[in-house]
Amino acid sequence: MPCEGCMEWDNVSTGATTEFLLLGFSELLHLRVLLFLTFLTVHLVTLAGNMMIFMAVVMEPSRPPMLFFLGQLSAVELCYTLVIAPKALLGLAAGGSAISALGCAAQMQLFVALGGAECFLLAAMSYDRYVAVCQPLRYAALMGEGLCLRLALACALGGFAVALGLTVAVFRLPFCQPRRIEHFFCDVPAVLRLACAQGYAAQLPALAACVLLLLLPFLLILASYLCIAVALLGVASPAGRGKAFSTCISHLAVTLLHYGCATFIYIRPTSSYSPARDKVVSLVYTNITPLMYPLIYSLRNKEIRGILRKMLRRKKIGSNQEQRTKTNQETKVELKIEVKLLPAGLCNVRAALGSLRERPMRCPQQPGHGGRSRRGLRAGPPLRPARG
């Protein structure tokens, strides 16, 4: 429906002249310093943890498919936090920050694309667990490097395509004045609240994106784990059943964290929208869950723990070698200084000894041969043994 002060996305009002105001946590100005330091610490720890996992996977020459997908997931989480956290910290420090319409659209596009890629990656990881548990003898043949690369590329392209369609559909809507977003980033529900057209047509792109990015991967994950559960019921040994299920615990925990928050935010009636509650839940899935992922995988995954131990051992060996090299260099410098401080007589003796070493050695003359050398002597007849 039309309203006064609506902003149309046309040639007159472009992304260069239109701005939104991210209010963030403007109602908590008295806690601004504490919140800023807390979020900054969480952001830095999240970056360090995911970077450590990503570097550990990259430095491993022979990595199984699960490690490959884990490296992709860590890379997604790194980009995920870098898209949201800097602008949120800036708004928290200034009590609110302005963002252009083009910048808001870019942030929404990247946020939805990375979130969708993460959903598809979780589905690909669930398929990997299905093959490992249900078809262990064919695991190496089915989960080859080529299939893993194609799955990772399909996850990235699928998330980007759906996010692009959703962003274009949202920013084609007319927005009403004042353009104040009750959030610390350009999330889809918060931006849709500013649209003048409040109806089913405005919510349809978001609903379609939820079906493609949330519901479809969730059904694939559910189907994989139903097959895994059926296969585990056929295992007679409780120890074997527990060992097979333990390989899925990390993935299950991450999936529940991700889908729990995403379902609460995006799959619900619009009448239940609450800005304050949404900001708290968004804090969890944009800061806490990326922080929990490295902890979950490093504690539960034996391969990750082994790789991290190798990295720490290499770092320790490298630091010891550097210390030895530094010590040897200091020793050489001290020796040079001592040589320079030697008295002149000792230096002359050293030079004389060096010249003697360089002279050729001559064989001494044998006494009783008239001063002839060994080369002048003739060999006598061989001695005969005495007869008894």
With CA atoms as reference, report the closest residue to 261 among 195, 351, 187. Answer: 187
pLDDT tens digits along 307-349: 767 767 766 665 556 666 666 666 655 555 555 555 554 555 4
Query: DSSP characters for 177-226?
Result: SS-EESSSS--HHHHHTTBS--SHHHHHHHHHHHIIIIIHHHHHHHHHHH
Cα separation, 50 vs 294, in Å, equals 6
Rounded CA separation 256/251 (Å): 9
Query: CA-CA distances (angstroms) from residue 69 to 56, 122, 228, 285, 300?
Result: 13, 9, 19, 20, 16
Pairing of strands 97-100, 19-22: antiparallel
12 Cβ contact list (under 8 Å, min separation 6)? none
pLDDT tens for residues 4-40? 444 444 333 444 447 888 888 877 777 888 888 988 9
CB atoms within 10 A of CB 257: 18
102 close to 16: Cβ distance less than 8 angstroms:
yes
Q: Six-digit token pair at 86?
A: 């800097």
pLDDT at position 358 is: 53
CA distance 57 to 312: 14
Please give the pLDDT value at position 359: 52
Q: Record the tokens describing residue 141, joined without a space.
A: 């043949």
CA distance 188 to 334: 68
Determine the pLDDT at residue 4: 45
Other C-beta atoms closer than 10 Å to the C-beta of 79 total: 15
First to last CA, the chain: 141
What pLDDT, on a 0 to 100 scale, did the predictor assign at position 250?
Answer: 83
pLDDT for res 15: 42
Q: In what order do the strands lie in the sheet with 19-22?
A: 97-100, 19-22, 180-181
Q: What is the pLDDT of residue 337?
A: 56
Tokens for 333?
Answer: 């410098």
The rounded distance, in Å, linking the Cα atoms of 106 and 20 is 13
Q: What is the pLDDT of residue 196?
A: 81
**Alpha carbon 276 to its chain's center:** 31
Residues 6 or more apart in contact with residue 215 via CB below 8 angstroms? 267
- Computed from CA positions of residues 289, 290, 291, 294, in that sequence, does the dihedral angle turn out positive or negative? positive
pLDDT score, position 163: 95
As a whole number of angstroms, the distance between CA 178 and CA 23 comes to: 12
pLDDT value of residue 353: 53
The vertex-234 CA angle with 228 and 238, nearest 5°, equals 95
The answer for residues whose C-beta is within 8 angstroms of residue 40's C-beta and 6 or more apart is 89
> With a cut of 70, which residues of the chain have pLDDT below it?
1-17, 198, 270-271, 298-303, 305, 308, 311, 314-388
